[in-house]
Chain A
Amino acid sequence: MARRKDDVAWSDPALLILGSLVSGPKHGYAIVQDTEDAVGITLGPGTLYAALARLEQRGHVRALPEEDRRRPYEITAAGSALLAQRLEAMRAFAVRGLTQLRTVQP
């Protein structure tokens, strides 16, 4: 389970992992650190690897050669396309929500 500091959750582990890997290949610990720094969400190791396994199975991430018990993962073209699709949907949701908030709270 992802440990969230906010009361309202807005993303799932798979999306956070893809978002982290878009800046370059990372191993598990680096993904946890990056996600914590970027969005304040700490991914547990079980949650991280459950999501990583699914992403790898569906071809959204690719495992690179292991380096001292750490295996980096990189995002694939299919993973980038999926991330872009989700972020576009989130942007549309955010723009609509912010516009409505501005009209309700002048």
Chain B
Amino acid sequence: MTALTSLALRAYPPSFRARYGKELSGLVEDLPATSRTSIDLLYGAIRAWAQPPCHGIEGRLRATTATTWVTWCAGFLIVPAMNRALLDPPSAGTSSSVRTLLGIADVLFFLGWALVLLGAASVVFRIVVPAVRARAWTSLRPLMPTLTLGLIEAIGLLWLGIASNNRAEQVAHPSGLFITATVLWLIGFAAFICCLGIGPALALSRLEPGAAELRNPTRLTAAVALTLAALTGCSLAAALIAGDATLANSAIPVAVALAVGCLASLTAIVSSSRGIHALRST
């Protein structure tokens, strides 16, 4: 098996690999290792992400819950990114419309987190706690990197806060150690966000909860998807109104954040509508 083939096999969604991974890699080993095989597998992996096969209502609800969680984790950062780009500090030309739109996006940000945490609480109490009691450690293992990095990041943030408070000059003229610690904290934060998105989704797939446990989180996915779409819309409108002059120094990061936000919103809306449709058929 070539490295590209192996990479392509790993590119499939976890749910697909859990169901077909072993037999698919067995088939690949039986076939001649060619670049066409690798390309075919990569194409298959893209299609599997775009339209994951769902076995039964439970599969659909799991996919919707996991996808909405991942898209929220990918999309919510658009709000702090836009605030940083447009209002920290605001340029002379920043209009009141931009401030209003970003204010609405801030409100939607907190509303979205409230909805997400409500759904997460339901998942924790109805799925994760019983799994802990049943000592299903293998299924819960994907949560470990998130918890570990979350703890490290919290301690790091505390240390950075104390260091900058104790010495005011640390902020004005930061030392090499302070800059290094801040950069390391930011890298860790990026890794934490990735783990926060992927870990719980993977654990949910492994725990294989039933439709009854996923009913409430699936209902909330529609509200989360709409909130994400609305805050992305506000951010997009703010960026368009702000124009090139205001975004001169941060046009590329803003464009990336907006693209991620739009893609995440679209994916969340499609996935939640499929989940709601599956709920109605039960």
Which A residues form the contact surface with B (CB < 8 A)? 1, 3, 27-29, 32, 44-50, 52-54, 56-57, 66, 69-71
Contacts and interface: CB of A to CB of B under 8 A. Distances in A.
B55 interface: yes
Most B Cβ at <10 Å: residue of A29, A50, A69, A70: A50
B20 A46 contact: no
Contact of A45 (B22, B27, B54): B27
B88 interface: no
Q: Is the interface of B mostly helix, strand, loop or mixed?
A: helix
9 contacts: A1-B43, A28-B24, A45-B31, A45-B41, A46-B41, A49-B23, A49-B44, A53-B16, A69-B22
A43 to B, nearest CB: 9
B47 A50 contact: yes
A32 B27 CA distance: 9
Given A45-B24, A45-B31, A53 B53 contact: yes
Contacts of A52: 20
Contacts of A71: 23
Contact of B41 (A3, A32, A44, A53): A44
Most B Cβ at <10 Å: residue of A29, A54, A56, A66: A29
A28 B45 contact: no
B201 interface: no
Chain B: interface size category: 20 to 34
A5 B26 CA distance: 25
A56 B53 contact: yes
B260 to A, nearest CB: 26
B53 A32 contact: no
A57 B45 contact: no
Contacts of A32: 27, 31
Interface in B1-38: 8, 16, 19-20, 22-28, 30-31, 36-37
Contact of A3 (B36, B44, B47): B36
Contacts of A50: 44, 47-48
Contact of B28 (A45, A56, A70): A45
Nearest to B31: A45
Most B Cβ at <10 Å: residue of A3, A44, A47, A54: A44
